Amino acid sequence: MKIKVLGTGCAKCKKLYEEVDKAVKMTGLPAEVEKVEKIEEIMKAGVMMTPALIIDGEVKAAGRVASAAEISSWMTAAAKEKGH
C-alpha cells in the first residue's frame, strides 16, 4: 500500500508523518510511506490544505493531523479492499 503525507514541512506535517509511522507499526501491514513537500506535487494531488494524507491514491484527511488509530483503520480497510 502506498501512503503519502503531504505538507511543506511544518510541525503539523511532521506530526502526521509520526502518526502514520505509528499506524504502520500498529497494523503490521506492508506500506510504502512517502513525504511530499513540493507545493507543485501537493497541488497536483488536489489538496488545498496541509497536512494531508493519501492512502492508495485516495485523500483520507486534509488540513488536520489524523490519529494513528484513525490511520490504522483506513489502512486496514484499504488492505481488505485489495484482498490482503
Give the catalytic positions in this structure: 10, 13
Residues 59, 4: Cα–Cα separation, whole Å: 9
Residues 9, 58: Cα–Cα separation, whole Å: 21
Alpha helices in 1-84 (DSSP H): 11-27, 39-44, 68-81
